[in-house]
Structure 1
Amino acid sequence: MMAGAQRSQTSFHFCHNPHAGSLLQGLQELRSDNLLTDVILCVSGKEIPCHRSVLAACSEYFRAMFCNGLRESKDYKVTIHEVSPDALQLIVDYAYTSEITITEDNAWQLLEGANFFQILPVRDACVTFVSNNFSAKDCLQMMQVGNMLSCPDLEKNASLCALKEFTTVSKTPEFLSLTKDQLITLISSDDLNASEKTVYRAVMTWINHDTRKRKKEMRELMELVRFPFMDKLYFLENVDNNNAVRKSCQDILTETRRYQLFPEEVESPCTRPRRTSGLREAVLVFGGLEKMEIGENPAVFSNSITCSPEPSTSSWTRVSRMKRKNDSRFAVAVLGTRNVIVSCGAKSRDVWLYHPELNSWHKLAQMKENRYHHKLAVVQGKVYAIGGRNLSSESSPWTSVEVYDRIQNKWTESVSLPKSRCGHAVAVVDGNIYVMGGLDTEYKDTSTVYRFSPGDSQWQSQTDMPLTTYAITASVLNGNIYVATLTNFLCYKPCENGGSWSVVVGVGTLCMYGMTVLWWESSHLWWL
């Protein structure tokens, strides 16, 4: 062998990219010349010669028909009943060319055919075409078709159109044929683009279309109309004076009248504004640690309040400053839908109400105790200050709870916790306050969970957390309580038998943080 000879290759991988297209073109030419075809599809007198292998490779339906020993796997002529001749021809052409033209005239036939033959690319293309051409007059019909064809994307897109165009949609004949569940899906949505007057009138029209069968559904449907946001005069003249509504929904009407007088004292699903109301949720961050304690230099805490409607971006803006400088272990809660109540930590009993829209502060009555490392919870417009301790080094955590009445501007003693707690988490679900974890009188971590509802004479023990922990925070999402501990992210599902816990995910090591729920395109939990 020569010293400079090139070493021979042991292998060489070759890929001719145009091959797939050339193969498809060759199969199309064979079909056009009726060569090697082994089956004829017959539909309404029309015959379409094909290759079984091409159909089976393109369609799960034909794969099952031709590859599982069915009679059609041997028949030369196979009759198709489920689609029109034109739709079948277009679908077969697609199998050989990968191309299809969808128009307003053939979109529905193609959608039904592609869905039946399980040719997903064509089905999805039809859904996209149809969705881009929805109108208020036909979106309910499309929603029904999507449900009938088990096509969730079509049903979802049609539903979004119905939500957006609800005022027009509610006047169509198809609206009167909605099932109760379909109507509930629409009127329960935060994305419904209509006034509550329109929602109420639509519900009444639906009920009156078949009063004998539908009047029993009135209460369930009226619970989804957000009467607190309805024009007050219209409510008094048309809702409050309606005998049928008064008979079945008296408590709903009473709640609405109460909200009109004392809006911050009423909390229910009906008091949650829809997105079209103009109210937009955002995240507010109060204070936080600026500098760690180093040697003889004490820790420094910020008194800034920053805001962002989109925490996933860098669009954070400082909107105000808290009244106390260098404050820590204070507590914050939302009162109503627009105001924030702040109870100071450290060595103060001061309580402030912050109005973000006006960027103004209003001092409220002082708490009875100088609470530190406590939590606030708001139920039925009342503010509960729960547990905590005095800043004094000799102080042990407290069992005491006090409640604030804004009308009287007064704090009064409430039902005490069964055990002393500080550094615990608090959440409110369905009008119940839940207190979780925290430190006891000996400053040991706990795992206990207590529940309290206004009017109860004592706190009720619930299922313990799966670990002992303190310095934790909690938020509520979809009726479940999510607790962020120092090392884990837990989920608690409340129920009458004490509820149940599960570990959602490990989150590493966290310290001195907050957490909240932000409603955006979907619901998210944010650590702050």
Structure 2
Amino acid sequence: MSRAPPAPDPEAHGSAGEPAAAEDEVVQIRLGDRSFPARKRQLLEQSDYFRALYSSGMREALAEPGVQRLRGGLSAAGLELVLDFIHTARLGRLERGDDDDGELPLLDELVEAASYLQVTPLLRLLRSQVRLGNCLQLRHLAQVYGLPELEEACLHFMGGHFHQVLRRPEARPHLLLPSALRLQLQERRMQGTATLLALGNFVGPLASQGRPPLEESPCAMLRYDEGARRWLGLPSDPPADLGNVRGYGSAVLDNYLFIVGGYRITSQEISASHCYNPCLNEWSQVASMNQKRSNFKLLAVGGKLYAIGGQSLSNVECYNPEQDWWNFVASLPSPLAEFSACECKGKIYVMGGYTARDRNLNILQYCPTSDNWTNFELCDVHLRKQQMLSIEETIYIVGGCIHELGSNQNPSQNEDMLTVQSYNTNTREWLYLKENTSKSGLNLTCTLHNDGIYIMSRDATTSLKHRVFLKYNIFSDRWESFRHFPTFGKNILVCSMYLPNHT
């Protein structure tokens, strides 16, 4: 039962000069055969429905002195919860507790009664109660009762926790998340500003750029301010155990950055998977791969991740964020070393590297729908240690070592040169684009961002630790150099993600 209201204060006075007794009287709210006591003044303060009822002199307010009957099919449980809020200005047992799953009981009845009685403060408070356990239900109720602010709060929460929402039992096949809502949440994750991020082991002071000296962080994240052309600290350092991991796979899926596998300095391979969510500026650990692997390729294709090959491995694993689980799919025809791969038009392309016996000259294509690898084409050049990216049907091959078959040139003569090539998967045409002979084509990291390929490389004559930052414009076939990277670093990853505008 709803708690009885406190006794009225005889010293108090009502609003507009009315005696307090008129508004502080206790009225009985009748619903069916049940009666709930409530203080009239609190009803007037919290409910637009009762305020309009009493101020208009409607028949329902005058029928029985001290008694207010309600119709409209409300449930007693919902009315009791709403009156409890009116008396206390709190949701009581419905407010979030320590349980992170925190589903609000009787949510349908609560929202129905609060909407019918127009208890605006309660509806406003519900916006802060959106959680994984209730976000789908609360968003549905907001649509049913025409509560746009509450629906927006649900969508904002669900966009920030997108993969976690997909894993909810109520979003599974029997109550499948509608495709239109799923697309809406994915688009929300892309709101904000497309920003270049760098993750790595940095050594050097960046205190003047808004963070403590980097010597204190074995692994840190920086973001690039394109207007000021400078790198700034991002106040969310990766997990400490990533600080000594090399050879990991990385990919961005639904604006989540995944760091998977690799090996520690002790040469021990790992299978762990970490995930950075820029919408919440937080890291979390997700399911580990079934296979420990390093020096492999991690790609995002069709809403899933694919971990391809690795050191002496041909097997391939697929990660489904809806289930937070990895499973094996069709393996590569043979293990490859020093190869690269990318997604293009919903399929995976693998180029270059070495098999156990010889150079790999095949371009391999994987179709996720049929779970099948095919030999797409035979190359007339041998590639290794390159990076691969794609736009529409065009694959860009960045850096690496290129050796033309039949050439008398010693491969070592052009191994340390930064080149960009393109390969059209429709026409199967290769284009050799503008070289940058002063920068190294080895041990680089790159990403697509806006109109170009942004590359973290090094001067061909300097230490591996000293990095340079440059851009290749894919539309003008032109190189642009930025300032040298402001600190020394190693094991660096560059990627492009959408950061909230308040970052």
Relative to total residues, which structure has the larger strand share, 1 or 2?
A: 2
Q: Do the two structures share a fold, i.e. TM-score over 0.5?
A: no
The structure whose residues are more often helix, as a share, is: 1
TM-score where L is the length of structure 1: 0.42
| Greater relative contact order structure (CA < 8 Å, 6+ sep) | 2
